[in-house]
Chains A and B, each alone.
Chain A
Amino acid sequence: MPGDFATEILGQSATKSSVKALRAELGLDKPPVTRYLDWLGNVFQGDFGSSFSGRSKVQGDQGDRSREVVGLIVPRLKNTLFLTGVAAMLAIPLSLILGISSALYRNSYYDRSATGVSLVTVSSPEFFTAYIFILLLATLFPVFPTISNVDENTTLVERFYRTALPVFTLTLITMGHMMRMTRSAIINILSSEYIEMAKLSGASRYEVIVKHALPNAWAPISQVIAINLAYMLIGSVVVEYVFNYQGIGRLMVGSVYNRDLPVVQACALIFASTYVILNLIADLIGIISNPRLLYPK
């Protein structure tokens, strides 16, 4: 990425000295390693620094008006968590049900159409899916708004209504993966000997799936759910941009555009830790659901 905040904000006609002065003020003249270590040290103390933008020391202005990164991020993060939370609540149960049922009736027309459709949705990029939704549900049949504008005063019902299209998009792009993985995890287990044994001891189809297959499938299923939750959060970068939703993804894209590094760094940290934490939870579920790991020999 060429340039930094100083060259970006002062424009092409800026003099070398003014660029240098702004760099010195923001600390951009220090070597990268020092800047990184400074930032890291501050983060451990809970200080994410201040945004570069929005700082203007006009004459008569007293002190610094630049905003804290935390104050900038928290409301956006809440918005993003709302969006992905709603999408997850829709996508996870739906894909589990679809995955399990298509494993149960595998190679039927139902299974084939479900896996076929999921292959299409999982292969389409999210912006494409988003535009299809806009075309269908906002332009041709204007049911939902194209732009998902929300603020603190928006009521919950209104929020659901306005975020409908981004939620649908996120649901659709993650559901395919989760459904297919659930399906193959269950099918894998259905071919094991203890499932045949369960059948031969008179267990019904439902019992075989819910009592015998599912308890052994939690580990792979929770793994794929974790990956997709993380993907939703990160995938929301594009979706939020398309629907102009005031989430953390949009904030990050904007900040990258302005070379507003403290904000970009904080966002990246949030995305990375979400990934790590979600995977950790999935691993814990894998251990808890497996007696072989929980109880020693």
Chain B
Amino acid sequence: MATRKKVLLKVIILGDSSVGKTSLMNQYVNKKFTNQYKATIGADFLTKEVMVDDRIVTMQIWDTAGQERFQSLGVAFYRGADCCVLVFDVTSPGSFKSLDGWRDEFLIQASPSDPDHFPFVVLGNKVDLDNRAVSTKRAQQWCQSKNGLPYFETSAKEAVNVEQAFKTIARNALAQESDVELYNEFPDQIKLDGGSSDNRSSGGDNCAC
């Protein structure tokens, strides 16, 4: 029953400025890349319909401003997120260090029901560049320390690993979503049970024996 239902998955992309959040989203949704840098102001979202394990899901991907001065508005959209993507630039150690801050801030503002097991996905972007400064090992170690977060090395420019990364994001988000759905379906089931039990009891009353 639930498998045929359309599902909306809310994905939030976070990370320092100019690590490639918008580029990753554009590469995934529109298959386009531009070398021109334009700072995102405020927040915006794109939607994409994808098939995950025989289910049609709509991904609502929220792209956010990395620059602090463009974060003047609220982040109510963190609430009800199904997955959070933490992006850093493999050529910028600073952006890697900031991941802790982004993760903490997200957990505080989104306040998910189970913060320890909330699906984060970490992306080390710009692997096409030569001047790499954050090693794969270092990144993986950090991910391990946070309950084993999935880690991908991507290039939004060359479309390396973008598709695979978002597939994992969608799958993990869906897992989170179905958990919520289960909770949502519970009251319905109780109602149905209550109804049927009522019928039964009334039937029982009517029954002569």
- Do A and B come from the same complex? no
A residues contacting B by CB (< 8 A) are none
